[in-house]
Chains A and B, each alone.
Chain A
Amino acid sequence: MTATATNGADAAVDVIIVGSGAAGGMAAYTLTRAGVRCLILEAGRDYDPQAEVNMFAPESDAPLRGTGTSDKPFGYFDATVDGGWQVEGEPYTMTEGSDFRWWRPRMLGGRTNHWGRHVPRFGAYDFKPFSRDGLGVDWPIGYDDVAPFYDRVERMIGVNGGPIGLENHPDSPAGCLMPPPKPRVPELLIAAAAESLGIPVRAAHTAVLTRDMPDKVAPRSACFNATPCTRGCTIGAMFQTTTSLLPMAKATGKLRVVTDAMVSRVVMGARGRAAGVEYVDRKTGQRHTVTARAVVLAAGTGETTRLLLNSGEAGRGLANSSGELGRNLTDSTGASFRAFIPGLAGRPRYNEDGIGGQHIYIPFWLYEQQKRGELDFARGYHFEIGGRFGIPSDAVLPRVWGKDLKQAVRNASGATINLTLRGEMIPNKDTFCEIDPTVKDRFGIPVLRFAFRWSRHEVNQVAHGRRAAHSVFRRLNGTILDPDLPPEKIMTAGGEIIHELGTARMGADPRSSVVDGYGRTWDVDNVVLMDGATFASGPHKNPTLTILALALRASERLATRLSSGALA
């Protein structure tokens, strides 16, 4: 393997951005518009949704009717290509007794090509969790610091939704949100039952356009209420960086993108600053070094952390004087509950596709009870609401054959409803990632080893969620389909919700945090982290909106520093 320096004068860049997902896309968009020359290094392959997404094919066109396999875990037509729970030749390991899943798309646009699109804002409590319950740490910033960036990001990426008006669920100012879609029948039914039990239901905030979003470079159309969002969206209704921020950044002429570029380490230069990064061309195996005035790490929580741990001082890593790098890893809790509702059997048919995912959801509603000490867990959870027409699951079909089976399918289609829990995990000392001392990937880069454990808070939270969900189902005379197992057995594995966060957390004190409130590492002032690694806690509210808002905020700060000559 030979090392070559690739940037000559014609390719001079101010900032290297590692990763092209939510954080990297936002960094590229913001910095190039400020006149900063950027180079994105993306580990995955080039990807063009216009050419590659098969939006309209029925599942019956796909092998196995589109059913997920180890090659395509979320189904044949799912947008994620060339990666997933496993990446060929790029393993990760786990400590004994840990079960951790690490979702790694290897494609331009990263995880934004396939994501949940549920974009609630964090609230004031979420930024100051330690002050509220004495667990974990506070963020060095508060809701008021982030709110203006939430406003701008919602308008920038296109979010539909409505007012929430509940404690710790901030509303968006007028003009930020597009109108939400009307709820479907199963959603309205759940809403009626939930509200009768004191459980609130609100329009979800979803990163899908319900109005056109004109743009000279990357015009995006309102959702046409069909096709699964997770396949990707050629009309741009669903936010993904490959149909929005990346083409817009490229149009400035200030952005160069190199794909198949697996960054292996940050290369240090003079005065304690980073000189650039070294990357491996995943196709040829050749190593390259590129230099710039600043380095933005937006590779995703795990890869950003791995990259820092593999840089700097052997055995300690770069930007790790606090010793916190790799620690404080969290994922969201996950559990799914479902019931067959006899009253929905054989219900009148209509087009229930809507904007893809849920139209309404159940936000966490028990902050007051929690404050009074009435709950046996800290922090919150929410329910995402499901239930549509389609092929009924095995669980609701009787063991019959012949015309009775056909009739049973007709009756059961659309009669199962779901409540899917997503909850906050509190960092614990047994959950972290570190460099595996012996295993390397096919490029010779040491791999991550994960340790993972849920605490009683998460287990009790899921048990509470199950009781709440079942109370809603019972109010609807539902037949609960969930197995009767202890909560530990119904929780998703660590990483499975793909919300891993926290391994290079931000803080006010360099002794207990890796980066400051703008993502700048305390130890190396021209290395800025912009992905979920910087989160000081992992609220139950899905993280992507906050990743985008913090990346926008950090990128503007970096642009100011660059133009002021601070990083000359």
Chain B
Amino acid sequence: MTFSRRTTLQWLATATALSLAHRGAAATIAEPKAFGAPPPFKVVDWPAGVAPMAPAAGYGRDPDLTAPKVPWPLTLTKAQRATVDMLGDMILPADAASPGAGTLGVGAFIDEWISAPYAQQQADRATILAGLAWIDAQARVLHGGDFATGTPAQRAALLDALTVEAPGADMVRPVAFMDRLRNLFVLGFYSLPEGKADMGYIGDQPTEGPYPGPSSDARAHLSALLTTLKLPAGKV
């Protein structure tokens, strides 16, 4: 289920109010842009079905776990990959905390994903390839060239149209495409060291001796939260 923009923006506001001081510059939240407007253009048709992928082998039930490999061939053409990289740098752009997802190479993960011979990935392949065709077709109608040749403002206007809260009937599939692509970029980006660092993730570090438990900062935050919620601390 996807939450409404209003709900999630409320979460952002609550989070800011509570505590992000320890996170420095990355903690500030910009005023949200006015997303959600219906597209001020005539929407082109969703492309006809994507041809199924040639049969390919998965990694099998007993791969060598100490030497992971991707055995299947990739899908994206050079031009498609460039568009995906560009979209990656728009969806998760460079800022003070981390590079853009396209620049970081997450586009290669998108290609790996949609090329995998498993049911979920094959369903995503149809969505993503159709979506890439759609976004170019829409760009050509709007400004006479593929998505990648548009101005930053033209490309941003398209992404805005692809992130409306309640898409009209003709935008349902394009918006579903962007939802899927965005979620794949989130997975691909935040599972990399740069993405983990951006989230402030601490872990994957062997620590001898008993587990130390929450830091004093974390305990203080919990304490304040319990007070706000009028809850006594548990006995565990």
List residues of chain A with CB under 8 Å of any chain B CB: 45, 51-54, 56-67, 69-72, 76-77, 81-84, 88, 179, 181-185, 187-189, 191-196, 201-203, 210, 222-227, 231, 340, 342-355, 359-360, 389-392, 394-413, 415, 475-477, 479, 481, 483
Contacts and interface: CB of A to CB of B under 8 A. Distances in A.
A402 B228 CA distance: 32
Most chain B CB inside 10 Å of its own CB: which residue of A65, A77, A81, A398 = A398
Given A72-B59, A399-B179, 11 more contacts: A45-B62, A181-B211, A182-B212, A201-B235, A226-B203, A227-B204, A345-B15, A399-B5, A400-B32, A401-B159, A479-B3
A468 B232 CA distance: 19
B203 A64 contact: no
Given A350-B202, A399-B5, A71 B61 contact: yes
Nearest to B16: A346
12 contacts: A64-B121, A185-B219, A192-B234, A360-B236, A391-B187, A397-B8, A402-B33, A404-B33, A408-B11, A415-B15, A476-B229, A477-B229
A88 B61 contact: yes
B123 interface: no
B54 interface: no
B211 A225 contact: yes
B177 interface: no
B103 to A, nearest CB: 14
A350 B65 contact: no
Interface in B218-236: 218-222, 225-226, 228-229, 231-236
B203 A406 contact: no
Contacts of B207: 224-226, 351
B208 to A, nearest CB: 6
Contact of A65 (B90, B188, B228, B231): B188
B191 to A, nearest CB: 5
B226 to A, nearest CB: 6
Most chain A CB inside 10 Å of its own CB: which residue of B26, B62, B90, B188 = B62
Contacts of A391: 186-187, 190-191, 195, 199
B49 interface: no
Contacts of A348: 19, 22, 215, 217-218, 220-221
A400 B116 contact: no
Contact of A479 (B7, B201, B225, B233): B7
Contacts of A203: 236
A399 B215 contact: no
A38 to B, nearest CB: 27
A189 B198 contact: no
B133 to A, nearest CB: 20
B73 interface: no
Contact of B203 (A82, A195, A389, A479): A389
A225 B206 contact: yes
A64 B116 CA distance: 8
Contacts of B90: 401-402
Contact of A53 (B61, B65, B236): B65
B69 interface: yes
A184 B11 contact: no
B222 A411 contact: no
A346 B225 CA distance: 12
B92 A407 contact: no
Contacts of A57: 68
B113 interface: yes
B236 A202 contact: yes
A83 to B, nearest CB: 7
A67 B119 CA distance: 13
Contact of B93 (A52, A185, A403, A411): A403
Contacts of B9: 398
Given A350-B215, A402-B93, A413-B199, A345 B18 contact: yes
A240 B33 CA distance: 53
Contacts of B83: none
B12 interface: yes
Contact of B213 (A59, A184, A413, A477): A184
A407 B12 contact: yes
A389 B214 CA distance: 12
Nearest first, the 10 A-B pairs at minimum CB distance are: A191-B234, A345-B15, A182-B213, A398-B8, A224-B206, A346-B15, A411-B15, A350-B215, A348-B217, A181-B211
A354 to B, nearest CB: 5
Most chain A CB inside 10 Å of its own CB: which residue of B14, B19, B195 = B14
A181 B63 CA distance: 34
Contact of B66 (A52, A226, A343, A408): A52
A183 B214 CA distance: 8
Contacts of B29: 404, 407, 411
A185 B214 contact: yes
Interface string B155-171: 00001001111000000
Contacts of B210: 179, 181-182, 210
Interface string B40-82: 0000000000000000001111110110111000000000000
Nearest to B65: A54
Contact of A344 (B98, B164, B225): B225
Nearest to A72: B61
Contact of A343 (B14, B164, B178): B14
A397 B68 contact: no
B212 to A, nearest CB: 7
B165 to A, nearest CB: 6
B182 interface: yes
Contacts of A390: 201
A46 to B, nearest CB: 12
A411 B11 contact: yes
B113 A346 contact: no
B126 interface: no
Given A400-B35, A403-B30, A188 B199 contact: no
Given A185-B218, A409-B199, A65 B191 contact: yes
Contact of A346 (B19, B165, B190): B19
A342 B226 CA distance: 13
Most chain A CB inside 10 Å of its own CB: which residue of B19, B220, B229 = B229
Contact of A389 (B92, B178, B202, B225): B202
A340 B2 CA distance: 12
Contacts of B91: 401-402, 405
